[in-house]
């Protein structure tokens, strides 16, 4: 999306750590994957591009240098002209304010000013409460036990032994093993059948079968 950096797409700050960027990518992929009701293929493509750049230390460093070079530089202050200009006529003395003009404003005006100041303060407090509520409602929910719906690149084809995948609500989504994933498929087994040693077993509702898989290390 024009005008948005990869950091904006993932919703992280430019000084975010690698683990925070990974969690943000998985969260965005879960939201925008085309298999979800809220999915958007264009937004998912932007999320994938952001991960390809920011997920690698060297490509991220090069991207940060590009952002720094493209950042607008503050304009230097314009020097004041110290040359005295000749007067076009006799200088008039500044008019002195009368005692009535220098007197304090009427009490009614002071009361109105305080009323507006109170309303502005109340509005600022209400805005702060709204921001706190929004921040609390967008707490990071990328817990490792939460099924992750998508990663990149994705495929709707059925994962086969040796493929890496992520869990959806009712099925598995085939992904590249060099991207974040939930496991590497070892075999499909009928319901009630055991899995090989050192593997995990999960029921896949859409296939009416169980899957035996290896959990990714690290």
Is 60 exceeded by the pLDDT of residue 147? no
Nearest alpha-carbon partner for 51 in 72, 31, 76, 21? 21
Is 80 exceeded by the pLDDT of residue 144? no
Q: Are 217 and 181 in contact (CB under 8 A)?
A: no
Mean of the pLDDT values across residues 170-178?
Answer: 87
pLDDT, residue 150, reads 42
Q: How many domains does the chain have?
A: 2
Q: Are 163 and 185 in contact (CB under 8 A)?
A: yes
Mean of the pLDDT values across residues 146-156?
Answer: 52
186 lies in which domain range?
A: 154-214
* pLDDT > 90 fraction of the chain, expressed in percent and rounded: 39
pLDDT bracket for residue 7 (50, 70, 90): very high
pLDDT bracket for residue 142 (50, 70, 90): very low
Confirm whether 188 is domain-assigned.
yes
pLDDT, residue 24, reads 95
Confirm whether 134 is domain-assigned.
no
Chain mean pLDDT for the chain? 78
pLDDT, residue 1, reads 45
**Residue 36: C-alpha distances to residues 7, 168, 193, 195, 197 (Å):** 23, 9, 31, 30, 34
Out of 70, 97, 119, pick the residue that ends a domain.
70
Confirm whether 62 is domain-assigned.
yes
Confirm whether 137 is domain-assigned.
no
pLDDT, residue 25, reads 95
Confirm whether 48 is domain-assigned.
yes
Give the CATH number, domain containing residue 19. 1.10.287.110
Is 90 exceeded by the pLDDT of residue 57? yes
Confirm whether 117 is domain-assigned.
no
Confirm whether 130 is domain-assigned.
no
* pTM to 2 decimal places: 0.38
Residues facing 217 on adjacent strands: none
User: For 82-132, how does the pLDDT look when each residue is reduced to its tens digit (9 = 90+)?
Assistant: 554 555 555 565 555 555 454 555 555 555 566 767 788 878 877 877 575
Out of 70, 87, 108, pick the residue that ends a domain.
70
pLDDT, residue 146, reads 43
Q: Are 76 and 39 in contact (CB under 8 A)?
A: no
Out of 70, 91, 115, pick the residue that ends a domain.
70
pLDDT, residue 15, reads 95
Confirm whether 116 is domain-assigned.
no
């Amino acid at each position: 999306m024009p005008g948005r950096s990869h950091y904006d797409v993932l919703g992280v700050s430019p000084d975010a750590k690698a683990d925070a960027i990974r969690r943000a990518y998985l969260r965005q992929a879960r939201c925008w994957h085309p298999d979800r009701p809220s999915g958007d293929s264009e937004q998912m493509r932007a999320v994938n591009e952001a991960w390809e750049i920011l997920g690698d230390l060297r490509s991220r460093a090069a991207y940060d240098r590009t952002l720094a070079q493209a950042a607008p530089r503050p304009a230097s202050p314009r020097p004041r002209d110290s040359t005295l200009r000749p007067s076009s006529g006799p200088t008039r003395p500044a008019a002195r304010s009368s005692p009535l003009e220098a007197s304090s404003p009427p009490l009614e005006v002071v009361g109105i000013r305080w009323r507006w100041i109170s309303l502005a303060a109340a509005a600022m407090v209400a805005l702060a409460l709204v921001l706190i509520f929004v921040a609390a409602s967008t707490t990071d929910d990328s817990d490792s036990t939460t099924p992750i719906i998508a990663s990149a690149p994705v495929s709707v084809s059925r994962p086969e032994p040796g493929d890496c995948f992520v869990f959806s609500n009712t099925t598995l989504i085939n992904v590249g093993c060099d991207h974040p994933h939930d496991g590497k498929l070892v075999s499909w087994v009928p319901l009630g059948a055991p899995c090989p040693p050192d593997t995990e077993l999960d029921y896949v509702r859409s296939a009416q079968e169980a899957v035996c898989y290896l959990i990714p290390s690290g």
